[in-house]
Amino acid sequence: MTALLSIRGVTKRFPGVIANADVSFDVQPGEIHALLGENGAGKSTLVKMIYGVQRPDEGTMFWNGAPFAPGSPGEARAAGVGLVFQHFSLFEALTVAENVALGLPAEQAGRDLPERIRRVSAEYGLPLDPARQVGQLSVGERQRVEIVRCLLQSPRLLIMDEPTSVLTPQEVETLFLTLRKLREEGVAILYISHKLEEIRALCTAATVLRGGKVVGACDPREETARGLAEMMIGRELAPPGAPSGTSGAARLTLTGLTAITTAQFGVSLRDISVELRAGEVLGVAGVAGNGQDELVAVLAGETPVSPAMIQLDGRHVGGLGPTQRRRLGLNVAPEERLGHAAAPEMSLTDNTFLSARTRMRLALRGFLRLGAARGYAAKVIEEFDVRTPGIHAPAGSLSGGNLQKYVIGREILQAPGVLVVSQPTWGVDAGAAQAIRQALRDLAAAGTAVMVVSQDLDELMEISNRFAVIAGGRLSAPRPAGETSVEEIGLLMGGKADAAA
Partner 1 sequence: MDMSALNPVAIAVALIVAATPLVFAAIGELVVEKAGVLNLGVEGMMIVGAIAGFAFTQETGSTTVGVLAALIAGALLAALFAFMTQVLMSNQVATGLALTLFGLGLAAMIGQPYSGIPAPPFPELAIPGLSTLPVIGPLLFAHDWLVYASLVLTAGVWWLLNRSRAGLILRAVGENHDAAHAIGYRVVAIRTAAILFGGACAGVGGAYLSMVAAPLWVEGMTAGRGWIALAIVVFASWKPWRAFLGAYIFGGVSIAQLNLQAMGVAIESQYLSMTPYLVTIVVLVIISADKARARMNAPACLGRPFFAAG
Q: Does 472 bind partner 1 (CB under 8 A)?
A: no
Cα(294)–Cα(277) distance, integer angstroms: 22
Say if strands 58-63 and 5-14 run parallel, antiparallel, or are unpaired.
antiparallel
Cα(4)–Cα(496) distance, integer angstroms: 43
Contact status, residue 311 vs residue 252, Cβ threshold 8 Å: yes
Q: Does 399 bind partner 1 (CB under 8 A)?
A: no
Contacting residues for 17 by C-beta, under 8 A, at least 6 apart: none
Cα(317)–Cα(359) distance, integer angstroms: 17
Q: Does 109 bind partner 1 (CB under 8 A)?
A: yes
Out of 3, 24, 60, 92, name the contact with partner 1 by CB under 8 A: 92
Q: Does 111 bind partner 1 (CB under 8 A)?
A: no
Cα(14)–Cα(233) distance, integer angstroms: 22
User: C-alpha angle 79/82/87, rounded to 5°?
Assistant: 145
Count of residues engaged in binding partner 1, rule: CB under 8 A? 26
Of 91 and 224, which has the nearer Cβ to partner 1? 91
Rounded to whole angstroms, what are the CA distances from 148 to 43, 98, 155? Answer: 23, 13, 11
Cα(463)–Cα(282) distance, integer angstroms: 9
Of 100 and 500, which has the nearer Cβ to partner 1? 100
Closest distance to partner 1 from the beta carbon of 101 (Å): 6
Out of 3, 13, 39, 48, name the contact with partner 1 by CB under 8 A: 48
- Among the listed residues 146, 148, 180, the one whose alpha carbon sits nearest the alpha carbon of residue 166: 146
Element (H, E) at 479: strand 479-480
Out of 18, 53, 233, 354, name the contact with partner 1 by CB under 8 A: 53
Q: Does 201 bind partner 1 (CB under 8 A)?
A: no
Contact status, residue 467 vs residue 484, Cβ threshold 8 Å: yes
DSSP-derived secondary structure for 269-301: EEEEEEEEETT-EEEEE--TTSSHHHHHHHHHT
Of 157 and 332, which has the nearer Cβ to partner 1? 157
- Among the listed residues 320, 324, 317, 327, the one whose alpha carbon sits nearest the alpha carbon of residue 255: 317
Of 36 and 90, which has the nearer Cβ to partner 1? 90
Q: Does 54 bind partner 1 (CB under 8 A)?
A: yes
Q: Does 415 bind partner 1 (CB under 8 A)?
A: no
* Region binding partner 1 by CB under 8 A among candidate stretches 48-56, 229-237, 267-275, 347-355: 48-56
Residue 64 Ramachandran class (φ > 0 left, ψ -120 to 50 alpha, else beta): left
Out of 66, 106, 242, 364, name the contact with partner 1 by CB under 8 A: 106
Q: Does 103 bind partner 1 (CB under 8 A)?
A: yes
Closest distance to partner 1 from the beta carbon of 58 (Å): 17
Q: Does 141 bind partner 1 (CB under 8 A)?
A: no
Out of 9, 73, 216, 400, name the contact with partner 1 by CB under 8 A: 73
Kindly write out the interface string for residues 241-280 of this chain, putting x where it contacts partner 1 by CB under 8 A and - elsewhere: ---------------------xxx----------------
- Provide Rg for the chain, Cα atoms: 24
Closest distance to partner 1 from the beta carbon of 100 (Å): 11
Cα(111)–Cα(114) distance, integer angstroms: 7
Q: Does 364 bind partner 1 (CB under 8 A)?
A: no
* Region binding partner 1 by CB under 8 A among candidate stretches 29-37, 96-104, 151-159, 172-180: 96-104
Of 242 and 263, which has the nearer Cβ to partner 1? 263
Out of 77, 142, 144, 337, name the contact with partner 1 by CB under 8 A: 77
Out of 22, 57, 98, 302, name the contact with partner 1 by CB under 8 A: 98
Handedness of CA 355, 358, 364, 365 (dihedral sign): positive
Cα(64)–Cα(43) distance, integer angstroms: 22
Q: Does 102 bind partner 1 (CB under 8 A)?
A: yes
Q: Does 132 bind partner 1 (CB under 8 A)?
A: no
Of 40 and 220, which has the nearer Cβ to partner 1? 40
Out of 69, 94, 233, 250, name the contact with partner 1 by CB under 8 A: 94
Out of 37, 40, 42, 52, name the contact with partner 1 by CB under 8 A: 52
Other Cβ atoms closer than 10 A to 173 = 13
- In the complex, the residues that contact partner 1 under the rule CB under 8 A are 45, 48, 52-54, 72-74, 77, 85, 88-94, 98, 101-103, 106, 109, 262-264
